Amino acid sequence: ATFDQDGERARHGRPVSKLLEELLADPYFGQPPPKSTGRERFGIEYADKLLARVKKAGGSDNDAIATATALTAETIGRAIAQWGGGKDDTAEVVISGGGAKNPALVERLAAKIQPRAVVLFDQVFFDGEAKEAVA
Picking from 43, 41, 36, the residue whose alpha carbon sits closest to that of residue 2 is 43
Model pTM score = 0.86
Picking from 130, 94, 86, 133, the residue whose alpha carbon sits closest to that of residue 110 is 94
Percent of the chain with pLDDT over 70: 89
The answer to whether the beta carbons of residues 10 and 105 sit under 8 Å apart is yes
> CB neighbours of 14 closer than 8 A, spacing ≥ 6?
59, 63, 66
CA 115 from centre of chain:
18
The answer to whether the beta carbons of residues 80 and 110 sit under 8 Å apart is no
Question: In this predicted model, what pLDDT tens digit does every residue of 4-33 receive, in sequence order?
Answer: 888 999 999 999 999 999 999 999 999 998
The answer to whether the beta carbons of residues 19 and 57 sit under 8 Å apart is yes
5-134 domain in CATH 3.30.420.40?
A: yes
Question: In this predicted model, what pLDDT tens digit does every residue of 89-121 receive, in sequence order?
Answer: 778 889 888 888 899 999 999 999 988 889 998
